[in-house]
Amino acid sequence: MTARRLLAALLVCAAAACNARDKPAPNETLEPSPNASILPAPLAPGSELLPRGRPEEGRVGIAADSAGRLILPDAGPPPARSLREDEVLPRDTLSVKDTAGATLDAGFRWFDLPNPPPGTPSVAEALRRAKEKTDLRVSIDLLATGRMRLVFTSVAFALPLNSELRARSDRYGHALLWPDGSTYRLIAPGALRAMFAERRADVTALVPAKARNVGRGSLLGMSTQRSELTTRSGTLLIDQAEYNGIGSSGSLVCRLLVELVGAEPATRVCGAGLLPVRAEYRWAGGGRLDFEVKAINRRPDLMVGNLYVPPAGAMFKLGELPPQADGVLLTRDDLANLRSRPMPLGGAAGPGAPGEGFTVVNRGDSLAYVLLDGVAVSWVRPHSEQYIIGTKPGLYTVSFRDFLGAEVVAPKPTELPARIVLGAEPDAGSAKR
């Protein structure tokens, strides 16, 4: 009797198993999952800048040895994350023993700068000194432990002389330090372009650049590898050399340069051990800007206190930039020396012209540099005007451009004194009936 009951129970279980195989499993239903319509959680701050895998790489597993044991790579440093402009950073942990690195003498360069009008009594030596004074020079300290300090050593930038940008390899973004070292603010990724060109810290979206290798070159006696990055803003050709003794800090210069073309700083082009020595920007709408390292000095004795991020002892400010009284770049004497003597043409000065010098009215939406005979003499904020005094009466070549060289107004011979207007006069509108 017990054997019969056992046999019956086995038959019932077998029948139930067959029925279960005939029914679809709950997770194999043809109805769409309700979770499919749920939006993914937002990415953590800075994750949009993390390196993306290449589509052609496919799925990559964990390597194993011949015995089947997993080969785990070294953990390495954690990935960098983005700074927020309202973030209060903890005290930097650099050691006073971390002093090895290098200092770069570098700068940006404009192209197609006009010359004085033919026949004018221009002074070549004074013109040369004025150009040298307004060269777009920077000095860059690189610490092998992953820090960068860029100092604006020219009066021509829209930030005060000796303002600083500092960066560290474990963060995307920069700290902007006032010239006297008393105050700093954070510049989030995507704001550098506006800061250089507009004296603003507005953040614009950065995009993954299309990158490719385009051969090799040579600069400063070093062989370089050349890469091309393309975004909707334009194209960047960047030459980088292998330079020992700077660790990962060369990638901080690369991040700064690629951000100016609107590219994510996490691009693989900015590799450890590589130092950018030249960059050429060609903008989608025309125009060009270059960056070039003119000299590299190896430094065993960099002052660590000058590279802390955040800066030690400085007060944190949110949403401000270093104060700048005005945008006049040259003194009255600098301007007066551009001509050996007055040479007025005898015509009447136009409406609104001052008694001497000239007034520039910027009716555009962008900060504009004013150039006389190819020398930057002032920058003017949008919807503002600037009075510039010192020029002798006579004919000059006047032109305008933005810092990036993307917006350039064709040069025009202009007799000074004058009131010069950039952009269209405001529309007064139609009269009301």
What's the average model confidence in pLDDT over 59-87? 66
pLDDT of amino acid 76: 53
Domain that includes residue 139, residue range: 81-316
Answer whether residue 215 is part of any domain: yes
3-state secondary structure (DSSP) of residue 343: coil
User: Cβ(179)–Cβ(163) under 8 Å?
Assistant: yes
User: Cβ(327)–Cβ(158) under 8 Å?
Assistant: yes
Which burial class, exposed, middle or buried, applies to 363 when counting CB atoms under 10 A from its CB (0-12, 13-18, 19+)?
A: middle
Q: How does pLDDT run across 154-195, given as a tens digit for each residue?
A: 999 999 999 999 999 999 999 999 999 999 999 999 999 999
Answer whether residue 327 is part of any domain: no
Q: Is the peptide bond before 417 cis (omega within 30 degrees of 0)?
A: yes
Beta partners for 388? Answer: 358
Please indicate, yes or no, whether residues 146 and 225 belong to a single structural domain of this protein. yes
Please indicate, yes or no, whether residues 373 and 307 belong to a single structural domain of this protein. no
Size of the chain in residues:
433
Please indicate, yes or no, whether residues 381 and 415 belong to a single structural domain of this protein. yes
Only one residue has tokens 């600069």, namely: 219
- Domain boundary at 273, 289, 316, which? 316
Cite the DSSP H helix spans in 297-394.
Answer: 332-336
Q: How many other CB atoms are there within 10 angstroms of residue 71's CB atom?
A: 8
Please indicate, yes or no, whether residues 184 and 309 belong to a single structural domain of this protein. yes
Answer whether residue 23 is part of any domain: no
Please indicate, yes or no, whether residues 309 and 188 belong to a single structural domain of this protein. yes
What's the whole-model pTM score? 0.81
Please indicate, yes or no, whether residues 211 and 289 belong to a single structural domain of this protein. yes
CA distance 366 to 380: 9
Q: How does pLDDT run across 361-389, given as a tens digit for each residue?
A: 999 999 999 999 999 999 999 999 999 99
pLDDT of amino acid 24: 43
Q: For residue 71, name the pLDDT band (cuts at 50, 70, 90).
A: low
Q: How does pLDDT run across 231-259, given as a tens digit for each residue?
A: 999 999 999 999 999 999 999 999 999 99
User: Cβ(261)–Cβ(229) under 8 Å?
Assistant: yes
pLDDT of amino acid 277: 98
User: Is the pLDDT reported for residue 104 higher than 60?
Assistant: yes
Answer whether residue 39 is part of any domain: no
User: Cβ(374)–Cβ(111) under 8 Å?
Assistant: no
Please indicate, yes or no, whether residues 114 and 260 belong to a single structural domain of this protein. yes
Q: Which of 57-71, 314-328, 399-413 has the highest mean pLDDT?
A: 399-413
Residue closest to 101 by CA, chosen among 229, 211, 230, 246: 246
Q: What angle do CA 287, 288, 291 make, to 5 degrees?
A: 160
Please indicate, yes or no, whether residues 257 and 401 belong to a single structural domain of this protein. no
* 146 Cβ contact partners less than 8 Å away, ≥ 6 residues apart: 168, 169, 170, 247, 248, 249, 252
> What's the CATH code of the domain at 350?
2.60.40
Answer whether residue 308 is part of any domain: yes
User: Cβ(133)–Cβ(330) under 8 Å?
Assistant: yes
Q: For residue 64, name the pLDDT band (cuts at 50, 70, 90).
A: low
- Domain boundary at 289, 316, 343, which? 316
- Number of helices and strands in the chain (H, E): 5, 21
Q: What angle do CA 232, 238, 244 make, to 5 degrees?
A: 140
pLDDT of amino acid 319: 87
User: Is the pLDDT reported for residue 223 higher than 70?
Assistant: yes
What's the average model confidence in pLDDT over 113-127? 97
- Domain boundary at 260, 283, 316, which? 316
Please indicate, yes or no, whether residues 119 and 246 belong to a single structural domain of this protein. yes
CA distance 327 to 385: 10
Answer whether residue 404 is part of any domain: yes
Please indicate, yes or no, whether residues 125 and 264 belong to a single structural domain of this protein. yes
CA distance 187 to 48: 17
Answer whether residue 250 is part of any domain: yes
CA distance 363 to 365: 7
What's the average model confidence in pLDDT over 52-71? 49
Q: For residue 346, name the pLDDT band (cuts at 50, 70, 90).
A: confident
Answer whether residue 48 is part of any domain: no
Domain count, the chain: 2
CA distance 245 to 275: 11
CA distance 405 to 289: 6
Q: Of residues 339 and 347, which shows the higher confidence score?
A: 339
Please indicate, yes or no, whether residues 352 and 296 belong to a single structural domain of this protein. no
